[in-house]
Chains A and B, each alone.
Chain A
Amino acid sequence: MSEYDVIVIGGGINGLTCAAYLGRAGLKVLILEARGECGANCDACEPGMPGFVHNLHTTWMITGASPCMDELELESHGLEFSTTDVCYATTFSDGKNVCMNGSDPFKTIEYIRAVSPKDADTFTNLISVAMPLIDEVCQGYHDVIYTPPKKETMERFGRVVEGVLKGVGLNFSFEDAYNKMNGFDIMDMLFESEHVKSMLLSLSWISGLAPINTQIGVLGAFLAPITGMLIPVHISKGGGHGLTHALVKAAKHYGATILPCCPVEEIIVENGVATGVRLSDISVYPGKVIKAKKIVSNLTVVPTFIEMMRKEHIDPGLYEAIKQFSYEEQNIFSVHYALKGQPEFASAGFNRSVQRCCMGYFGSEKKGEMKKYNENLVNSVIHDEILANWFIPTLADPTQAPPGCHTAFAWFDVPPSPKAWKNRALNGFEAWDTIKHELADEVTEQFEKHIPGFKKLILDRIIYTPMDMFKNNPSSIKGNWAGGSVIPEQWYEKRPVPGVLKKGSASRTFIENLYISNSIHPYGGSHLSCGYMAASEVAEDMGVRNQSWWNKRAMDWHLQNSAVKVPVNLGVDSKWKSVE
């Protein structure tokens, strides 16, 4: 007789999501967290000057588009979002910028028109054709992100994209493009202005879909233009850990037990069936064995199978393949600043809207620069020019800094084991502690270029490298935030490693009763999809999937509530007020 129905190893956001769902479905769930607190990769803290909250991990929350919003009642468990109406801006050293307005695509069109009337017309056409298809787009997004990888799903999504492109006069075969083109090619096909292209490509990239790849880059290129409109740009009130806190509250509310400081030593497998776990000797219950009907590992694929499982349970060929699983992309370097005032962008004279934008990108103005950067990344070289995603979270949520003060940070993809930077040979992963200050200085200079006077505003600076990320969370091997590289070899049906998952499943592994909610499709992120899919499959196998509350679709909450419930910073000219 098992003590628990389900054990979830790892209290990250996806483990918590999975546990909360299963708890709500009536199962007895235990979460074992190795650290003293949950949410290793969805955290915010005050590592420097007091009063300044730094979002060392997740900042851009797209949880608003997740079915979990309704199904786990995350709002009532304390999750609050805030945002700015200008949800994204790419600033350029030629003094221009391109902004995106999350609440009004027509404003986005105006902003684009300032750099390229032709692209503005293309954007208008795309919207006018896509809008009537909003239901199909939402369904497509749900299917692609929240259901197990299936060839037909991608084909169906492809037909929606084909329909839209046909409406703007492009005869386009999604299947061909998906396998042969990359994100850069798609953008070249649609737009003329480098400014516009780099805005959309950077969006795709920072959401985890690097443009240089086939398949992934193509998907990213088509999802990027609906960012703001359908894929929300939200900041969790009080800092990124707001999402973790809400999920912990939800999991507990639905009856799950959370044990912190309980690293798991071994997943116990008997005759190819997972039956329980043995806790590590350094846990608060040293060496304790806990049995359960189902085990969900929320660790990435290498710790799950190579470190926590005896080699004899795994086919040698598969064992080697798992060991080769790549963690080399989606590793980030970030620099966080405490500022004593609001930054003034150099491009504010071109379009002042950039001043009320909480998330943006810089460094990508030269044609081909982004492509070179992406190529360097693949070759483990740190790119000379800093192309980075910047945030000023305090514009959307002033509570993250003392009154009048702001926080800002920039993060960008780096090779976790860099071989070279600026003609200098580097010794891989170990190099981070030696180069981090120099690299951070480059980031500061890039900020200064786009925000003259930025340096004078700095009160404090925090650097966070892939090495720091790994130390904080050893499941994030090499500091990978996505549960492993998002590259064509590890994408969709091939994710994480062919043979790990049962055919047609998103999370059921080759070990009976063992599920995995990390390193799986699509990749770890605030969309919570991995936890959602693992929960769905465990619930199906336990016969409890059929719940009246468990029927929401992606975007439902966002379409219904976001615009009303998420406070939007509209800048100084906001007239918004409510009266009791």
Chain B
Amino acid sequence: MKKKVVVIGSGPGGAATAALLRKKGHAVTLIESQPFTGGRCASFSKGGFTYDFGVHMFSRGNSGPHGEVNRMLEGGLRWKTHEPAARVMGKVEFDFPLDIRSFLTQVKVAMKLNVKPSCYLGAFRLFRALLKGESIERHDGTTVETFVDSYTDDDRIHLFINCLCQLYFALSYKESSAGEFMWCFSRMFNEASFGYPFGASKAIPDSFLERFEQAGGILKINEKVTRIEIEKGEVRGVRTEKGFYPAEVVVSSAGALPTILLSGKEHFPETYTTSIEQKKGSNAYITLKYALDKKVVPYPTVFYMPNLPGRDVFQYIEDKTVPDDVYIFMPVPSNQDPSLAPPGTQLVIAGTAAPRFASAELCNAILDKIHQKVCDLFPDFSKAILWEIRSSRKETSDLTGLDNGSCIGLGQTPDQSGRFHLNSETPVAGLYLVGADAGSRGIGTELAVGSALNLVRRL
């Protein structure tokens, strides 16, 4: 039975849902409130530089859900992978390999990380458990910190895993679910296809949307949804500033809580609404985008681990203060796809986690810290800057519609991961959620695209 479907939001989750449903023959309209498509994956252009709004880490690249949807749609999405994958900087400096399955590489990583020799074996057992990814469900309810503690108390390992958690989930490892972390880690390193899409992050939703439109899907941009119309527990359609779109199925990638508010709380059982209201969001991510007049950073990606005790490196997020030293994830998109910057120049994106609801002043102070750190790491950096663009918590909120600035949405905490993670079903017939909030497992946009795959298989 072919249905009338409205999809809200053109991020990777919405775009994948729309394109896949259209491919199945449904009549699909995709409505995007912004004047541009892509949601959290949006990229923009300035002076020949194509930069991402956020900092993205596509841990599984072509072998993950992005690649799977691309293959289903026979799309043209291509990935660049690097071996070694990233440059670790900080107190120690080394190239982090993409393939760490071999014991020898693990020895090397442990040595380079400066792990205490007495903690080597614990570190190897930890790597091994993470790579194996067995009994994930059993570990869902534990925090990553507890999990790591059961193997080693080495500060360097704790620092590394803590920073990796922040990168994966925008949460400190004290808040992240060990099962979820294990799932992501084992897939990332076993599939070894960590990469960056050619054409910047927006290439992901764009390639889905291209297939969607080619297949006759209708895309409306710059049109804000004002109401999801529901009658007698069944969805009827979507009202926007410009009109009404009747629909039997509405798929919202606007996030769980915004979707409830758009529909009206009265249509949902109170328990459902409260449970969602009480869910914890991920941290905010704030970024600095640099246009440089020459190539300064020779690495595809930089992973800077601050010189702080491993357990407390993200204490500043709890305290809402400026840290002494700051963890930075810094992809260099133009090193991965040279077409993203004019010849001879370089595009660098540096980001870190910030507290939810962080004030503009606090965000700016943390961004100043990043700026200073990046300039310290690369002596030629400050002289080469053509311009920089700052995205703080407020810009993220504007883009995602989440006041707290959560960059992923619901946090992948022990009580919100795996089987406790929200799924696509809602109490309203015909209304479904996709996006990071509704995904089952994965990192950032993989949750979103994965949720689209799951939903489309069911519908």
Contact = CB atoms under 8 A, between A and B. Distances in A.
Interface of A: 102-106, 127-128, 131-135, 229, 558-560, 562-564, 568, 575-580
A104 B193 contact: no
B184 to A, nearest CB: 16
Contact of A564 (B99, B124, B190): B99
B97 A563 contact: yes
A128 B118 CA distance: 9
Nearest to A232: B104
Which of A127, A132, A564, A577 neighbours the largest number of chain B CB atoms within 10 Å of its CB? A564
B192 to A, nearest CB: 7
Contacts of A103: 101-104
Contacts of B111: 134-135, 559
A579 to B, nearest CB: 4
Contacts of B80: 580
Contacts of A580: 78-81
B100 to A, nearest CB: 8
A579 B79 contact: yes
Contact of A578 (B97, B101, B128, B192): B192
Q: Most chain-A CB neighbours within 10 Å: which of B97, B99, B101, B104? A: B104
A79 to B, nearest CB: 18
Interface in B57-77: 61-63
Interface in B111-129: 111, 117-118, 120-121, 124-125, 128
Given A103-B103, A106-B125, A559-B104, 19 more contacts: A103-B101, A104-B128, A106-B103, A127-B121, A131-B107, A131-B124, A132-B118, A133-B117, A134-B117, A135-B117, A559-B108, A559-B111, A563-B103, A563-B104, A576-B99, A577-B192, A579-B61, A579-B79, A579-B81
Given A106-B128, A562-B104, A568-B102, A134 B190 contact: no
B105 interface: yes
A135 B107 CA distance: 11
Contacts of B107: 131, 134, 559
Interface of B is mostly: helix
A102 B106 CA distance: 13
A131 B108 contact: no
A202 to B, nearest CB: 22
A232 to B, nearest CB: 8
Interface of B: 61-63, 78-81, 83-84, 97, 99, 101-105, 107-108, 111, 117-118, 120-121, 124-125, 128, 190-193, 195
6 contacts: A106-B125, A558-B104, A563-B97, A568-B102, A575-B191, A577-B193
Contacts of B117: 131-135
Query: Residue among B62, B79, B120, B195 with the most chain A CB within 10 A?
Result: B120
A57 to B, nearest CB: 26
A37 to B, nearest CB: 34
Contacts of A127: 121
Contact of B103 (A105, A576, A579): A105
B193 A579 contact: yes
B193 A131 contact: no
A132 B116 CA distance: 8
A107 to B, nearest CB: 9
- Interface SS of chain A: helix
Contacts of B99: 563-564, 576
A131 B195 CA distance: 33
A560 B83 CA distance: 13
Contacts, number: 78
Contacts of B97: 563-564
A125 to B, nearest CB: 10
A564 B192 CA distance: 12
A100 to B, nearest CB: 12
B310 to A, nearest CB: 19
A578 B79 contact: no
Contacts of B79: 579-580
A128 B117 CA distance: 10
Contacts of A568: 102
Given A135-B117, A578-B83, A563 B190 contact: no
Contacts of A563: 97, 99, 102-105, 108
Contacts of A106: 103, 124-125, 128
Output the residue of A133, A562, A575, A579 with the most chain B CB within 10 A.
A579
Contacts of A579: 61-63, 79, 81, 193, 195
Nearest to B106: A563
B261 to A, nearest CB: 40
Which among A106, A127, A131 has the highest number of chain B CB atoms within 10 Å? A131
A564 B83 contact: yes
A128 B78 CA distance: 43
Contacts of A102: 103
A562 B102 CA distance: 9
Contacts of A562: 102, 104
3 cross-chain pairs, A with B, having the tightest CB-CB distances, nearest first? A132-B117, A563-B102, A103-B102
Contacts of B124: 106, 131
A560 B105 CA distance: 7
Q: Which of A104, A105, A135 has the most CB of B within 10 A?
A: A104
Contacts of B125: 106
Contacts of A578: 81, 83, 192-193
Contacts of A559: 104, 107-108, 111
A106 B102 CA distance: 11
A229 B104 contact: yes
A563 to B, nearest CB: 4
Contacts of A132: 117-118, 120-121
A128 B123 CA distance: 11
Contacts of A131: 107, 117, 120-121, 124
A509 B101 CA distance: 47
Contacts of B191: 575, 577
A231 to B, nearest CB: 11
A577 B98 CA distance: 12
Contacts of A134: 107, 111, 117, 120
A127 B124 CA distance: 11
A128 B124 CA distance: 10
A104 B81 contact: no
Contacts of B103: 102-106, 229, 563
A127 B128 CA distance: 15
Contacts of A133: 117
